[in-house]
Structure 1
Amino acid sequence: MGVEICVEGLSKSFGHQVIWQDVSLTLPAGEISVMLGPSGTGKSVFLKTLVGLLKPDRGSVLIAGRDITRLREHDLYEVRKLFGVLFQDGALFGSMSLYDNIAFPLREHTRKPESEIKRIVLEKMEMVGLLGAEEKLPGEISGGMRKRAGLARALVLDPEIILFDEPDSGLDPVRVAYLNQLIVDLNAQIDATFLIVTHDIASARQVPDNIGLLFRRELVMFGPREQLLASDEPVVRQFLNGRMQGPIGMAEEKDAAQIEQELAELDAGNHRGPMGGEGASDAGVTPRLLPSDGVARPPRWQAIAQRETRSHPHQVADA
């Protein structure tokens, strides 16, 4: 079962450069949350702060009732055992087979016999669809397979929290779709708390329970997926609809009058959004991605499927 992460008043700077300030949110236990934001807004820094690799200037991160910003190294090491992390490139050792890469955390952090390690590694490889590729080297497989191997390695210690740092980077749209389905299936199977940092708008619309958006050194919004997808907040609408009109510019700063003019022109050309209300998010609320056929659906996922069926009776994503 996943654990809740409660972030209060978190701020981080490097020298005089403020990355973000006064970030507060709660990642619900067992749910999938996504953190969005333009490049350079500190999304990866946020992940590293959650796992204790970076220390914030102010604020707290409560995990299982313990504030990791105030823990000594030994106690922090214990809390980190709750985490699994999938890095952008999979972070695999190039000279090791996939089997040995995935077995590495078990050999490094446990005293399990090799027979038990083999059982766990093959179980996780099966979960991510890599059985039969045990002896392959990372350089011999596709980017999508490397991501799945990295995910299998993140799973071997049975973490209660899994952090995904841009899992879709470097993948084509088809592989991203497969990876998204895998993430949803895994969440239904292991019930851990997932946090995904991504730029992929389609993933953000389909995969999570909750969405957050970092912009201009602050957390603009964080809340249930449906709330963000139907939001009137200009920067949220702009980012989730991938358009130029709005507060986000190439250099991330636009003149206030320019923003106001762009948004007025946009609203004039699109008076009523597909949600039925003026200014509603342009693309509406996308159907939720559900676990694959054959994947058991715990009560939480059964409730999501029922809600999606009522909201989108003819267009629920393939279960």
Structure 2
Amino acid sequence: MGVEIEVNDLTKSFGKQLIWGDVSLTIPAGEICVMLGPSGTGKSVFLKTLIGLLKPDRGSIIIEGTDIASCSERELYEIRKLFGVLFQDGAMFGSMNLYDNIAFPLREHTKKSESEIRAIVMEKLDLTGLIGTEQKLPGEISGGMRKRAGLARALVLDPEIVLFDEPDSGLDPVRTSFLNQLIVDLNAQIDATFLIVTHDINTARTVPDNIGLLYHKHLAMFGPREMLLSSEEPVVRQFLNAQKIGPIGMSEEKDADELAAESDQELPPLPPIPMQLEPSNGIARRSQREPGAWCREQGITPPPGSFEDNVSMAPGA
């Protein structure tokens, strides 16, 4: 079962450049969360800070009672055993075949025998649909297969937290759809806590239990998927619905003149909220809620057509 990550007042700068400040959120145990934001808002920095690769300027990150922002190196080493990470490019060793790439963490961090390692590696290859490719080099397979191999390696130590740094980067829409289904199926099987950094709006609208949005050096919003997909908050509405009207401009924020010019334009209606992607075996994940449950609890009427099977992605504006 996954573990909870509690982030309080987290702030990170590089020199005089503030990346984001006073970020507070709780990533629930065993749930799938997505972190969004325009390019350059520090999403990958946030991921690296969560695992202790970067130290925040202030704030805390509490995992199983340990603040990894201020703990000792020994404590951090132990906490990192809870994590598996899928990097953007898979981060495979080019001179090793897939089998040895996936076996690497087991050989480095455990005292398991080669027969035990083989059983685990083959299990993860099967889990990610890569049986039969174990002798191939990373350069001999497609980008989508490299992503899956990287995911198999991230899972090999049975982590309770899995971080995905733009897993859809470089993939076409079809491969992204297959990867999204794999992520949902894995969460159902291993019940770990998943955090996905992505730019893909379809992924954000259909995969997670919770969504966060980093914007203009702060966390604009974090909460249940239905909360953000029904939000009238301008930056949330604009980003999650791929609209041109709103505070986000081509470079960063729109200036006052641009916003004033938009003031008399009618906002397009919110698109329907799609059904959340379900495990391929049809059995709901532990954290999966009934479609529309959050909206009903909050007394919010979702956009017309919400929670229909044929709704998947917000239209561009």
- Normalization by structure 2: what TM-score? 0.91
Give the equivalent residue in structure 2 for 1:73.
73
Q: Provide closer, same or farther for how the CA distance between residues 316 and 247 of structure 1 changes in structure 2, counting only shifts above 3 A.
A: closer
Deviation at 1:260, TM superposition (A): 4.4
Q: Is the 8 A contact 1:246 1:263 kept in 2?
A: no
The sequence identity of aligned pairs, in percent, is 69
Q: Which amino acid aligns with 1:85?
A: V
Q: Is the 8 A contact 1:49 1:56 kept in 2?
A: yes
User: 3-state SS of the aligned residue for 1:54?
Assistant: coil
Q: Is the 8 A contact 1:34 1:197 kept in 2?
A: yes
1:192-232, Cα deviation, whole Å (9 max, x unpaired): 00000000000000000000000100000000000000100
Give the equivalent residue in structure 1 for 2:10.
10
Name the stretch that deviates more: 69-78 or 253-262. 253-262
Give the equivalent residue in structure 2 for 1:134.
134
Q: Which runs of 5+ in 2 are unaligned?
A: 297-305, 313-317
User: 3-state SS of the aligned residue for 1:99?
Assistant: helix
Aligned counterparts of 2:107 and 2:253: Cα–Cα separation in 1: 48
Give the equivalent residue in structure 2 for 1:277.
none
CA RMSD of aligned residues (A): 1.9
Q: Given the alignment of the two structures, is residue 184 of structure 1 paired with residue 184 of structure 2, yes or no?
A: yes
Structure 1 or 2: more helix by fraction: 1
Aligned counterparts of 2:204 and 2:32: Cα–Cα separation in 1: 10
User: 3-state SS of the aligned residue for 1:266?
Assistant: coil
Aligned counterparts of 1:117 and 1:200: Cα–Cα separation in 2: 35
2:287 to 300, 314, 319: 300
Q: Is the 8 A contact 1:25 1:222 kept in 2?
A: yes
Q: Which runs of 5+ in 1 are unaligned?
A: 274-281
1:289 to 277, 288, 307: 277
Aligned counterparts of 1:248 and 1:236: Cα–Cα separation in 2: 10
Give the equivalent residue in structure 2 for 1:207.
207
Give the equivalent residue in structure 1 for 2:303.
none
Deviation at 1:162, TM superposition (A): 0.3
Q: Is the 8 A contact 1:68 1:76 kept in 2?
A: yes
1:234-285, Cα deviation, whole Å (9 max, x unpaired): 1111111212221111220212342244254033xx4xx3xxxxxxxx2131
Q: Is the 8 A contact 1:288 1:316 kept in 2?
A: no
- Normalization by structure 1: what TM-score? 0.90
Alignment of 1:100-115 (within 5 A): 100-115=100-115
Give the equivalent residue in structure 2 for 1:312.
307
Give the equivalent residue in structure 2 for 1:278.
none
Q: Provide closer, same or farther for how the CA distance between residues 299 and 211 of structure 1 changes in structure 2, counting only shifts above 3 A.
A: closer
Q: Is the 8 A contact 1:36 1:213 kept in 2?
A: yes
Aligned counterparts of 1:58 and 1:161: Cα–Cα separation in 2: 23
Q: Is the 8 A contact 2:36 2:214 kept in 1?
A: yes
Q: Which amino acid aligns with 2:244?
A: M
Q: Provide closer, same or farther for how the CA distance between residues 113 and 68 of structure 1 changes in structure 2, counting only shifts above 3 A.
A: same
Give the equivalent residue in structure 2 for 1:59.
59
Q: Which amino acid aligns with 1:288?
A: Q
User: 3-state SS of the aligned residue for 2:208?
Assistant: coil
